[in-house]
Amino acid sequence: MTATPALDVNRTAVEWSSIYGRYLTASEPVQRGELLVEEQPFALGPKCNGYVLCLNCYRPEVQERCVLCGWPLCSPCGEAEEENQHLQLECSVLCSAKARFYELPAGSRYWPQLDCIMPLRVLLAKEAQPERWQNEVAPMEHHELERRENADVWHADRVNIAQYLRGPCKLADRFSEELIMQVVGVLEVNAFEARTSQGYPLRCLFPYTGILAHNCVPNTARSIHPSEGFKIRLRAMVALEEGQQLQHSYTYTLDGTAQRQAHLREGKYFVCSCERCLDASELQTHFSSLKCGQCTDGWLLPKQPTVVDSSWNCRACDHSTSSEEVRQIVAALQAEVNAVQALGMGPKRLEESERLLRKYKSLLHPSHYIATSLRQLLIEMYGRVQGYEMVQLTDQLLERKVILCRDVLRVLNVFEPGLSRARAMNLYELHVPLVLLAKSGFIANKLSGGELRGQLVYAIDLLKECVEILQHEDQNSQEGILCGVARQALQQLTISVEGLGSELD
């Protein structure tokens, strides 16, 4: 039986520049949705700064312990030795060194001891796969000089990880402190978050996919498959030309420029200069623009979007304000949104979200990222919250959900064009009220049979695109499950339209 290769690069090439370092390009023309890269992780493990979890399945807050080393391991995983990462990797190291896992007081949310596990797994993989380490992992960016500037974090990593592995874990003869800190940096800068089939978070290191260049309007989409050993697949979100740089977003695309820039500076150690970041209007979406308080029609935009302390100016009346004042306004509004999100999935949360959206009309551009986040929250609640279940929604509320979906999709079409999971999920959300409105309109004699058929065909087109996007996701993931639901809805709707067609004939 032939072993599955760790890496299949398909139609990509590695290039280098003084700006991006190593990065990937398309080595030939690629169509939307086509596969670019398949890669098995070099290592995977728990996230840092986390709670106690099973070191094999990542289930949180486990009380059980490994019978061999005493570190966290749930009972089912302890009995599945052949597929147990913990037993195959660090357990023997911890046992040999008699490195004890210390219990912290009840209620503790952070176990610093567990921060060493993922770096240790990378180091053990280095020994097991020296060629892959040398060719793929060793050249990865780890930004040691920049990380040293944050003295508190550097010191904590040095003590909790490097000195712990070399001391209590007795690995000083195998791994130098310099090497361990390099690995910590490689993980901090390059690791991807993934989720198990049960939805528990973890980190994966993909050396090839990890050198993708960043762009706040990405042209590639990645999916990670727990059922295949957390293999990652990279696909083209849009059609690509030969030689075109492959780009992914290493921050949340539905954050404003200031928030994205802060995330990239603090976690990835660079300032993004993509077209979206350099444009104060964020590609004409006004995703960060505030209402000018001095004139009727003007919007406040940053004079230099990538500069932290840039002033903000109105293009209509030339009114200017400081970045600090803008930060205070945005922070106050975000705190209100956070308070509403903390309410839990209920009618009060929905009604408060609508209230804030109305309130912010006088403060924010309609497409501002805070307003967009409220719309996304409302989309997820309409049809699911008590008192607002789909069968209870009036035509007016169904139309409200349609408007919300279209508003969010208008933004996503700019920032995540093509094969976007977020687009797919909103396409699915949009099709439901459209179908219900079409049927109720037909029953009320507001729509003819032909108009009903046209509306349902439009909903079918939305579902087809949803399925086209989500078919590449792991079938046990939230997105993969939604793909199955969308397929069923597509089949049922297609049958309804065919039946309607024969009646109209």
Render pLDDT for 5-26 as a digit per residue (tens, 0 to 9): 677 777 899 999 888 889 999 9
Handedness of CA 407, 410, 415, 421 (dihedral sign): positive
Q: The tokens of 395 are what?
A: 């035509």
Residue 221 to residues 209, 262, 416, Cα–Cα distance (Å):
11, 23, 9
Instruction: Tell the burial category of 378 from Cβ atoms under 10 Å away from its Cβ (0-12, 13-18, 19+).
Output: buried
Model pLDDT, residue 502: 56
In the CATH hierarchy, which fold is given to the domain comprising 7-40+206-248?
A: Beta-clip-like (2.170.270)
Of 150 and 78, the structure prediction assigns the larger pLDDT to 150
| Under 8 Å between Cβ of 319 and 313 | yes
What local confidence, expressed as pLDDT, does residue 503 receive?
Answer: 58
Q: Give the span between the Cα atoms of 264 and 127, in whole angstroms.
A: 31
The mean pLDDT value for 36-63 works out to 93
Q: What is the mean pLDDT of residues 455-468?
A: 97
The reported pLDDT for the residue numbered 421 is 95
Q: pLDDT value at position 10?
A: 74
Domain with CATH 1.20.58 in the chain: 418-505
pLDDT, average across residues 468-476: 93
Per-residue pLDDT at 24? 95
Tokens at 215, concatenated: 């762009």
Q: What is the pLDDT of residue 410?
A: 97
**pLDDT level of residue 1 (50, 70, 90 thresholds):** very low
**The predicted structure's pLDDT at residue 5:** 64
pLDDT of residue 414: 98
DSSP letters spanning 36-82: EEEE--SEEEPPSS---B-TTT--BS---B-TTT-SB--HHHHT-GG
Selection from 47, 194, 186 nearest residue 118 by Cα: 47
Start-end ranges of CATH 2.170.270.10 in the chain? 7-40+206-248
* pLDDT confidence bin for 151, thresholds 50/70/90: very high
The DSSP bridge pattern shows strands 213-214 and 247-248 to be: parallel
Query: How confident is residue 229, by pLDDT bands cut at 50, 70 and 90?
Result: very high
Which residue carries 């939230």 as its tokens? 478
pTM here is 0.90
pLDDT at 154: 95
User: Residue 29, exposed/middle/buried by CB under 10 A (0-12, 13-18, 19+)?
Assistant: middle
> Where does residue 282 fall: left (phi above 0), alpha (psi -120 to 50 degrees), or beta otherwise?
left
- 190 membership: H or E segment, kind and range: helix 177-190
CATH of domain 418-505: 1.20.58
What average pLDDT does range 50-75 have in this prediction?
93
* Beta-carbon contacts of residue 305 (< 8 Å; ≥ 6 apart): 257, 277, 278, 279, 280
Residue 505, pLDDT > 50, answer no
How far is it, in rounded angstroms, from Cα 495 to Cα 252? 38
Q: Output the six-digit token pair for 417.
A: 């064009």
**Residues 54, 80: contact at Cβ < 8 Å?**
no
